[in-house]
């Protein structure tokens, strides 16, 4: 039984100034929430001092959405976990447009019990 889907997103070659911009990253996560019809409960944000990046997390009734940015490396990572079926969000197009990502890698993981044993799992 699948109990949820998790998307792990890694971007590289991003615009460092955009990765330091908390208000822009709030807009990015807000678009994910709005376009996927997610229901936010609360959020927590932290802007690291100076040239540092931003960490943000939105608690959702469906689970959570988070981002972590590393402007010094041009990298941003995102994580979305939903316990309800959702359409795919176009991470590639949206993150290229919004944060200037040169490369976007998306890993989708179905969460829940599986028929096959997982390496290192239960004996």
50: how many CB neighbours lie within 10 A of its CB? 6
Instruction: Tell me, yes or no, whether 122 lies in a domain.
Output: no
Strands (E), the chain: 2-12, 40-47, 54-60, 63-70, 75-82, 103-112
Catalytic positions, please? Answer: 63, 68, 83
Instruction: Tell me, yes or no, whether 26 lies in a domain.
Output: yes
The packing angle between helices 91-99 and 22-36, to 10°, is 160
Instruction: Tell me, yes or no, whether 91 lies in a domain.
Output: yes
Q: What is the mean pLDDT of residues 65-81?
A: 98
- Amino acid 114: pLDDT: 62
- Give residue-wise pLDDT tens across range 7-39: 999 999 999 999 999 999 999 999 999 999 999
Domain carrying residue 12? 2-112
d(CA 56, CA 26): 8
- Amino acid 1: pLDDT: 80
First to last CA, the chain: 19
Percentage of the residues of the chain whose pLDDT score is greater than 90: 80
CATH of the domain at 19: 3.60.90.10
């Amino acid at each position: 039984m699948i109990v949820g889907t998790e998307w792990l997103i890694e971007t590289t070659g991003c615009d460092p100034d955009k990765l330091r911009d908390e208000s822009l990253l709030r807009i990015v996560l807000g678009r994910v929430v709005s376009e996927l019809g997610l229901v936010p409960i609360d959020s927590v944000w932290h802007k690291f001092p100076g040239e540092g990046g931003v960490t943000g997390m939105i608690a959702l009734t469906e689970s959570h959405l988070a981002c972590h940015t590393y402007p010094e490396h041009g990298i941003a990572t995102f994580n979305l976990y939903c316990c309800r079926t959702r359409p795919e969000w176009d991470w590639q197009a949206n993150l290229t447009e919004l944060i200037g990502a040169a490369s976007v890698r998306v890993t989708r993981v179905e969460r829940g019990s599986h028929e096959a044993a997982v390496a290192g799992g239960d004996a």
